[in-house]
Structure 1
Amino acid sequence: MPHQKITQALVDGLPFQESGTHWVHDTDLAGFNLSVGRRTKTYYAAGEAGGRFIRVKIGRADVTKANEARAVARDILLPEIRRGVDPRAKQLGDDDRTYARIMAGIREARPEDLSDQAARRIIKGKAKRRADELTVGQVWKMYEEHKRASILEEKGPEKARRAEQHIVQQCRYLGGAESYGKDGPYAATREWPGGWWNRPITSITPELCSQTWRNLTRTRWRRTAQMFFMAVQVLFNYAVAKKEVPVTAHPMVIDAAGDGIGLPKGWQSLRAQNAVERISDIRAWWRQVDKLTVIPKSALKVALLTGMRPSEVLAMRWDQVDLDAGKVWFGMTKTTDYREVALSSWSVAQLKRLESMTGRHEFVFTGPTGGRLTTLPTITRGADRWTPKQCRKEWQTVAVELGVSDTQRLSQVGKGLGGTDGHYVVTPDLRSTVQQVADEIMRRVEGAAT
């Protein structure tokens, strides 16, 4: 069961999972969780900090007792998270190795050696390295460590090996390889012969990106330039999420003309990852959506009320929709071979209304020529600009605010699903949850809904 009191007896009795990850949420201490995978059982502390949901690893169950992990979560990590502090962004002090060992799951010291005062001093410790002196290579090494650990724990050794190949290649593009050909590292200059590897990360500006793009497309062809900036994109997606890295925005800018002078067409500035990508004024958004024609209007509202990806909304066919059962299914999605999505009574009403006005064609949301609608519009109001993807972000944020469990939230949006069939289909609990989230969304747009 996903909600139980986490005791040592429960931990010892839970079987390992053949595939996927099983989560247990403690009923006595909100935010204290246990994950059970194929080979390990791990304690976590979880909550919302800085407007985003975070999960902090406490230690493996084979080296840390349940009551000790609960004490660390209750007395140290959860209070920090509730104050808006991300404990993962803090550096551990060298003089407090006792707590560092416990957090790493290495039981080399007696638990009584750890005092609350010493533990809090570690969590609040200052980063030793001056943030403004961090280089691209140093930040990439931080990313590599984080990526390898997360993939190995969540996906297993096979996917970790495949990911390793991508990491090595991207590292090479940034200048982190041991050797290069006669032309030297990519993006090498007289001032920086090692490419971007030893550049301060704060020196990577939009102007430098544009100049580097032009140079690479001219000297090493466009495909190399694209691969180089894919590595840059990965680097900065990680960097903007780390508090100890002085980066709050992505340096890549829009190439509106698409003529190769700037960056690849469609690339644009990204906001910091710790900013919640939600609809800032949902009532205003709803009013603007109501000004659209019936098909794109219905599509956006269904996206908001279900949390589906825009591509999934556009791909919906009538033969995949069961309005009586309140669900829609897909044979192939971004992350699964088959999954079902629950529809609330609000979504069913939207689809019935659309059917009565346009009739049934192959696709639920048809375009001008009778085929599928190809894109969903971006909603604007003055300086506000809301993309279709933010509907999915808004649904997930509302679900988190309502206390929806990770298992049900991820099952609905089709992200990080486990290996059991029950995670792929609409269950009564999931349908009730989706209805609860939709009711809350409709309450927030009260007065604007038509």
Structure 2
Amino acid sequence: MANKITKSFVDNIPFPDTGQNFYRDTELKGFGLRVGTGSKVYFAEGKVDNKTVRVTIGHHGVFAPEQARTEAKGILGMIARGINPNDADKAKKAKSVTLAEVYTAYLKARNSLKPRTIQDYDRCMKAYFEEWQTKPLAEINKDLIERKHREIGERSEAQANLAMRFMRAIFNFALGQYEDSAGNPIISDNPIKRLSQTRSWYRVERRQTVIKAHDLPAWFKAVNSLPDIAIGRNKHLAKDFLLLLIFTGLRREEGLALQWKLVDFKAKTLTIPDPKNRQTHTLPLSDFLFNLLEARKAQNKIDAAEKGEDESPFVFPGTGEKGYMDDPQKLMKKVIEISGVQFTPHDLRRTFITIAESLDISAYALKSLLNHKMANDITAGYIIVDPERLREPMQRITNYLLNAMEQKKND
């Protein structure tokens, strides 16, 4: 319907019972009014590349007809120049998107990230990029990145590199997610490249600490003494947890979150269903590990019965939200204090790896024991590893550890 759009005309238009009615202005071609069941909205429309483009101006009441007409002239001028105003508006919004908004979108897109990974990302955002969160991503340039990297590096070079690797992932995501009206990325280049171009990445040596063979007896004795000399409900659990790590090479969180349903006493195996590399990991249990877990299972049942509770599904139960024991840092410090041996949970994994390598275990068996990917090895892609093939090397590692700890060797 064509009419001159005036205030009195718009005021008198009735709302339809269903659908929408369109009224187009007789004086300004492309200016119109859309009337729905409860709204009256001004718009401008025209063609760009032979496609009709309609742009909403605003509601009647918020805009008077003459105000809307003035807005429409500007929009129609853009259309006449072949510019799609909707694309321009989208580009404007894209250029103003903040770091916090991009990070939220990144987490939503990467919905398979592990909770621990998200916690690490959140901590990184808060610790190093708090003041940037409301800043448009397009304003975070190479100079800012270089200064921030240097600033963090004054406290920790390793953390500076880690923070910038995280930021590189955010920018790479944004490069493919946010575009201008021509379909070009709002960020033409990842500013983190500056660190490579100027060779500003810090040289951080990979941590190589392990428990040396001559320190194993003191460490083993201190770990086994925890139930007698430590305080707290987790002292028995912590002992078995630390032994599990050094005799399996599992990562800290893999050990803490281990569930009984993943321990097969009949087959003498344990399985990590969702490890760091997403490849299900099944390990054979050496005799020592089998006895350790069997005793832990029995003790968990006794502990649960004494408390009048159901048995926990976790090998190392806890009282927190996760259901399993928190990282026993205080008890680890007690072991360090008694033994004089400094270590971290990952040092136990490195100790397992170092011993396995020293026993001339085949490269494929070693990688399988550690669940390391062999992406560039074509032959490895054809090898299906049966846990039973790993049982003999697993027992050899256990024997070596027990012998080094001055314990009776398992045969």
How high is the TM-score relative to the length of structure 1?
0.41
Q: Which has the larger radius of gyration?
A: 2
Select the structure that is richer in helix. Answer: 2
